Amino acid sequence: MTTADNTENTIPLSPLMGAILTANAKWSEDLTNQVLDNKDREIAEWKSAFAKLYDAIDKANDTVDSLRIERILGTFAQKRDFSVTSVDTY
């Protein structure tokens, strides 16, 4: 089969069908971008809340001055620092 024979068997798309397919692709891309933006926003909010929680517990530890709480905070601090400085991978 030659190239000429192959083009004779294809059905051209109407302008309306082309517009529909283009709009569908645009809508899909917009929806994907919105989902990714929401995910990034939620991750940033979680990291911020985690850091605030650590800071609140750290302040409470200053008044309690407990060795056990200090040990827990040491581990928690490593997790807090990692969550704030980690790079998101998808």
Count of positions (residues) in the chain:
90
Of all residues in the chain, the percent with pLDDT exceeding 90 is: 20
Average pLDDT over residues 66-78: 73
Local confidence band at 1 (pLDDT 50, 70, 90 cut-offs): very low
- The predicted structure's pLDDT at residue 7: 60
CB 78 within 8 A of CB 41: no
pLDDT value, residue 28: 93
Q: State yes or no: pLDDT of 77 exceeds 90.
A: no
- For residues 57 and 19, give the distance between their C-alpha atoms in angstroms, rounded to a whole number: 57
8-51 pLDDT, tens digit each: 667 777 888 888 889 999 999 999 999 999 999 998 888 888 88
Tell me if residue 12 falls in helix, strand or coil. coil
